[in-house]
Amino acid sequence: MSNKSFMMTHNAQDVIVVGGGPVGSFAAWNLAKRGIEATVFEEHAAIGVPSHCAGHLSIRSLKNLGLYPLPGKIVENTFSAANFYSSMGTRFSVRLAQSVTAAVNRTLFDQYLAEKAETAGAHYRLNTRVQSLLIDDGFVKGVNLAEGDGAEEKAYAKLVVDAEGISSRLLKQAGLSALNLGGLVYAVETEVENVQDVEPDAVEVYVGKTFAPGFYAWLIPRLDGTAKVGLAAKNRNPRECLQRLMRKHPVASKQLAKAKITQTAFHSISLGGPIPKTYSNGFLAVGDAASQVKPTTGGGVVFGLTCAEIAAEVATEAIQRNDVSSDFLRFYQQRCVDALSFDSSVMLRTRRFLDSLSDEKLDEALRFCARLGLGKTLGSVDEIDFQGQAFLKLLTKPAMFAALGYFLLLYFSANP
């Protein structure tokens, strides 16, 4: 992928995509497949770098998006189990009948999507930052660009797809509300060597306010003894929280006693659910830019890719009809709501519930789940992204019903 893979023309092209993350590239790929001329502007000199993400994704969702199996070394490991630990060290394990998640190398994954988009006909301009939108007569008509060498330029398009991630600097200019800062957690993602006492096919999750207030910490092992270890927390320095977890958590401190951190990245995650409006005249917001992220786990790749595909379909139709007005583009939001809103609202409520529990209550809940044999009941789960639907399916099982009753009791005792 070259720095300047095409000559910039000043005639309006079909679509400009802001950001060459997974969501921007998947949108560009889906647009190009439909014969739409799309150009992706990416501010970094290379796609997928720097990476800030654990890349833990549901295999079923990737298959539904036509993205699994993935080639080469993109998939680092697959998982059929998860161990949840309270701050006191109580463990609740879920072992599934088959591998349901994969850890992908985010740099390679992003590059794969960009290559697919480029092969389908999309153009890429790296090292090129979108500074602001060009707006004329109430319609977004293009973008102001700044290149790595400081040169400035304008680029025009019939439609701009904003996939710039959590920075989401363009929303306001497009007349949309910015991300809800109250829903942000601050995260650290590390690469670690010398991890001990972990099962190679299980993801480790550490919950509780003592170590990760407002979110949780994770350890995602690779087969070679290295792991991705991360933590996010609300209103707290994630680096300090991670150091504390590594030193003091009853289980993590043992697993990470000899660990050596080889890479560290910091980034925020938006847990507040999608922004209220994701479109305006000539403009669509997608992915992290629109907070299309699971409020329970902070996973945004599958939700973002799902909405990117919808955005490409609606944008294609808008361009073919020569109607990029918000009146037509509202179908994008409607279809995203149909695809995500049930699961997103179940997860939002679950996140609020988890946030409301003290560490003692969480510990009690994990003990209860283990006693009830809920790990076995959850064994048939094959979906981690659309958690509302997965939850509904499980409600037919007696143990799950008992657990629901227990959690409701817990909820009301934690929220009198």
Ligand X SMILES: Cc1cc2nc3c(=O)[nH]c(=O)nc-3n(C[C@H](O)[C@H](O)[C@H](O)COP(=O)(O)OP(=O)(O)OC[C@H]3O[C@@H](n4cnc5c(N)ncnc54)[C@H](O)[C@@H]3O)c2cc1C
Contacting positions for ligand X (CB under 6 A)? 18-24, 41-44, 52-57, 129-130, 163-165, 167, 187, 189, 230, 267, 269, 287-289, 293, 298-302, 304
Decide whether 143 or 394 has the Cβ nearer to ligand X. 143
Output 208 or 287, the one with its CB closest to ligand X: 287
CB of 302 to ligand X, least distance (A): 6
Nearer to ligand X by C-beta: 99 or 325? 99
Identify which of residues 227 and 374 has a Cβ nearer to ligand X in the complex.
227
Nearer to ligand X, 31 or 187 (CB): 187
> Smallest distance, Å, CB 380 to ligand X?
22
Structure tokens at 5: 């893979």
Cβ of residue 314: shortest distance to ligand X, in angstroms? 17
Query: Smaller CB distance to ligand X: residue 192 or 403?
Result: 192
Minimum distance from residue 290 beta carbon to ligand X (Å) = 8
Shortest CB 254 distance to ligand X, Å: 23
Q: Are 231 and 292 in contact (CB under 8 A)?
A: no
Which residues on neighbouring strands pair with residue 146, listed in sequence order?
A: 129, 152
Closest contact distance (angstroms) between CB of 408 and ligand X is 29
Please say which residue, 183 or 300, places its beta carbon nearer to ligand X.
Answer: 300
Minimum CB separation of residue 209 from ligand X in Å reads 19
Least distance (Å) from ligand X to the CB of residue 168?
Answer: 8
- What's the min distance (Å) between Cβ of 208 and ligand X? 18
Nearer to ligand X, 261 or 402 (CB): 261
**Closer CB to ligand X, 228 or 244, in the complex:** 228
Strand order in the sheet with 216-221: 91-95, 81-85, 202-207, 216-221, 227-233, 184-193, 260-270
Nearest to 290 by CA among 166, 169, 173, 401: 166
